[in-house]
Amino acid sequence: MTEVATALRILLLDDDSFMLDLLQEMIGDLGPHVVRRETEARRALDALPALAPDLLICDLSMPEMDGIEFLRHAAERHFKGSVLLLSGVNAGVLRAAERLAQAHGLTMLGACPKPLAPAALAELLRRAISQRSAI
């Protein structure tokens, strides 16, 4: 796999620990990124100020607080990093969620179905680095 040269601070949010394991392993193969994993949206919100992630990878379907509600709260807290939505929901729902996140002023990298291919993740990480550099 191609390594992405510049390290990112990444927050992974998914209620499925297997998916978190898979994403963390894929990201680890792409470079020395700093990754924090959360299975609960409230803990992830609490982590935002201290971690100040460059990239948030967020599931849409989670108990207690879904991805859309989480992103609304992140926008209210002035989250400045990039957002990648991942979900097993249909493509129409993913596109609608992406538009809602953009309407909240969030910088979207995309909305992708699970599972995400390693090459696609590598390209998305490169785009996140480019967007971080542009700020």
pLDDT tens across the length of the chain (135 residues)? 555 558 999 999 999 999 999 999 999 999 999 999 999 999 999 999 999 999 999 999 999 999 999 999 999 999 999 999 999 888 889 999 999 999 999 999 999 999 899 999 999 999 999 988 776
Q: Where are the domains of the chain?
A: 9-127
In three-state secondary structure terms, 121 is helix
User: By C-alpha distance, which of 52, 58, 68, 6 is closest to 37?
Assistant: 58
Give 33-97 as a 3 state SS string: CEEEEECCHHHHHHHHHHHCCCEEEEECCCCCCCHHHHHHHHHHCCCCCEEEEEECCCHHHHHHH
pTM: 0.93
| Residue 2: count of CB within 10 angstroms of its CB | 13
Burial class (CB in 10 A: 0-12, 13-18, 19+), 59: buried
Tell the CATH topology of 9-127.
Rossmann fold (3.40.50)
